[in-house]
């Protein structure tokens, strides 16, 4: 088992199957030493674990969990591309789109659900850049959408 | 004529001139083997073929056409950079920003207008990752804004 | 002093210290010859120089200044990564997220505050691609959030 998956197991998490697309595209592409994923949602099997808007129908704690789960799906996409997560040299970038209601300001706390997971399982290699913007209407009513960019061997 | 442009012609489409910028920037840049475009709008000559919000003043079918046209403009940007579209090795990423009204959820169906075109003309090389987010207010009242990332020879 | 910082001085500007993150991430990462920053806000020391929404509580002129300041912070992030700004070969991309109220359409004029600065200090190397989208709710009530991508030696 890879070091990264071992860290996941310590957290009581198992890597899910990489979720498929919801349109005519693919879920991850490698170009040179870079891998980029499509937008990742909080899929749990074939349904979204959360739907709705932060600050309206969802709490920051639920948003944190949704971000964590979306990041876990993103890591599954990376594994599907590189085969072994120990071949990930660096998480380069996390794009964070947060579905939210009026006057919501806690995007960083929500996205920490993804960042904390990446930092925990990849260690130094998990230190990533981040964007955090609010989205007024999201596909499938998903509370977050994330994109991972990684440098791989 | 390149294979890609031949496929365009089969669809009854011709490559437009690459639209210019609407501010103090350029419309595409190459770095190493990657090309990234600026945000592409549904320009038809010097005017936008569609304006407005999906789910308010525009139908999903109109959005699909707007996305298709924006993607065509993006392909024109790629050609302006690489000269011959057969030198595009892979469409890496399509960023999809959809100008929409309240409770709109059909971003994927709109963006398929772009994805279907890329898949049709580039074939296997057209298989791309995608993001799909809703935007409440878009420059020029454009219904979609797209960015293409491509790996080139 | 680097050529780029000399150009900054001619404009009466000094490079600030690179602002830190507002969550569990880092502010810039290098992968190969590319550097990407996290979302940059109009920090002036430890406070935001502007807050609010364009077209509601802020004028386009204030937005232009906020974009210019955010870009200056982004340039500080590049320097923190590469050491000498003359090692920046090209500004590849500027992502522009504009916090705005209903019916706002002047995103390009706001983001020109960033683009004009990059063009002034980097010259030909500053010619970048750009995205410009409206955001309904931004972290920290910031009026703009920018990301810089640069190719470096």
3-state secondary structure of A142: coil
User: Å from B90 to nearest chain A CA?
Assistant: 8
Domain that holds residue A111: 3-152
> Is B140's CB within 8 Å of C105's CB?
yes
The 10s digit of each residue's pLDDT in B121-132 is 999 999 999 999
- Residue A26 to residue B119, Cβ atoms within 8 A: no
The stretch B28-57 carries a mean pLDDT of 97
- The pLDDT, as a whole number, for residue B67 is 98
Cα(A118)–Cα(A11) distance, integer angstroms: 12
Mean pLDDT over all residues of chain B? 97
Rounded CA separation C44/B80 (Å): 40
Q: Which helix (H) or strand (E) holds B38?
A: none
Q: Smallest Cβ distance to C93: which of B29, B136, B137?
A: B29
Task: Quote the tokens at residue B58.
Answer: 């525009």
B66, two tokens: 């707007």
User: Taking CB atoms and an 8 Å cutoff, what residues of chain C touch A110?
Assistant: none
Look at residues A73, A103, A78 and name the one whose alpha carbon lies nearest to residue A28: A78
In the sheet that C28-31 helps form, which strands lie side by side, from edge to edge?
Answer: C28-31, C34-37, C144-152, C88-99, C129-135
CA-based nearest residue in chain A for residue C135? A134
CB B72 within 8 A of CB B135: no
pLDDT tens digit at each of 153 positions of chain A:
799 999 999 999 999 999 999 999 999 999 999 999 999 999 999 999 999 999 999 999 999 999 999 999 999 999 999 999 999 999 999 999 999 999 999 999 999 999 999 999 999 999 999 999 999 999 999 999 999 999 999
Task: Quote the minimal CA–CA distance from B39 to chain A in Å.
Answer: 17
Structure tokens belonging to residue C70: 């955010």
User: Among A23, A102, A134, which would you mutate to test the B interface (most chain B Cβ atoms within 10 Å of its Cβ)?
Assistant: A23
Average pLDDT, chain C: 97
Per-residue pLDDT band at B134 (split at 50, 70, 90):
very high
Structural domains counted in chain C: 1
For B85-105, give the secondary structure using H, E and C: HHHEEEEEEEEEEEEECCCCC
Q: How confident is the model over B62-71, as pLDDT tens digits? A: 999 999 999 9
The CA-to-CA distance between both ends of chain C, in Å, stands at: 18
Q: Is B38 on the interface with C (CB under 8 A)?
A: yes
Q: Which residue has the tokens 């840049």?
A: B29
Residue C1, pLDDT score:
79
* Nearest CA-CA partner of C144 in C99, C105, C92, C80: C99
Neighbouring chains of A at 3+ CB pairs under 8 Å are: B, C
Average pLDDT over residues C20-41: 97
What residues contact A75, with CB distance under 8 A and at least 6 apart?
A: A4, A8, A15, A85, A117, A118, A121, A148
CB contact under 8 A, A29 and B127: yes
Q: Which whole number is the average pLDDT over B79-84?
A: 97
Give the pTM.
0.98
Nearest CB to C111 within list B23, B95, B140: B23
Chain C contact for A33, CB < 8 A? yes
Domain with B139 in it: what CATH number? 3.30.1330.40
Nearest chain C residue to B135 by CA distance is C134
Contact C29 A128 (CB under 8 A): yes
Which CA distances in Å does A142 have to A19, A24, A97, A138?
Answer: 14, 19, 10, 6
Query: Residue C61 and residue C57: Cα distance in Å, rounded?
Result: 12
Of the listed ranges A30-34, A87-91, C19-23, C33-37, the least confidently predicted one is: C19-23
């Amino acid at each position: 088992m890879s070091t990264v998956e071992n860290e996941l197991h310590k957290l009581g998490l198992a890597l899910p199957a990489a979720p498929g697309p919801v349109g005519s595209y693919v879920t991850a592409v490698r170009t040179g030493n870079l891998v980029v994923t499509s937008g990742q949602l909080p899929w749990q099997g074939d349904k979204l674990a959360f739907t709705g808007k932060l600050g309206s129908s969802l709490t920051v704690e639920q948003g944190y969990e949704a971000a964590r789960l979306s990041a876990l799906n993103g890591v599954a996409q990376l594994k599907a591309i590189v085969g072994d997560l120990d071949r990930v040299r660096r998480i380069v970038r996390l794009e964070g789109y947060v579905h939210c209601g009026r006057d919501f300001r806690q995007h960083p706390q929500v996205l920490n659900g993804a960042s904390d997971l990446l930092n925990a399982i990849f260690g130094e290699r998990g230190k990533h850049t981040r964007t955090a913007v609010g989205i007024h209407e999201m596909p499938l009513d998903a509370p977050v959408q994330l994109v991972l960019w990684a440098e791989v061997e």
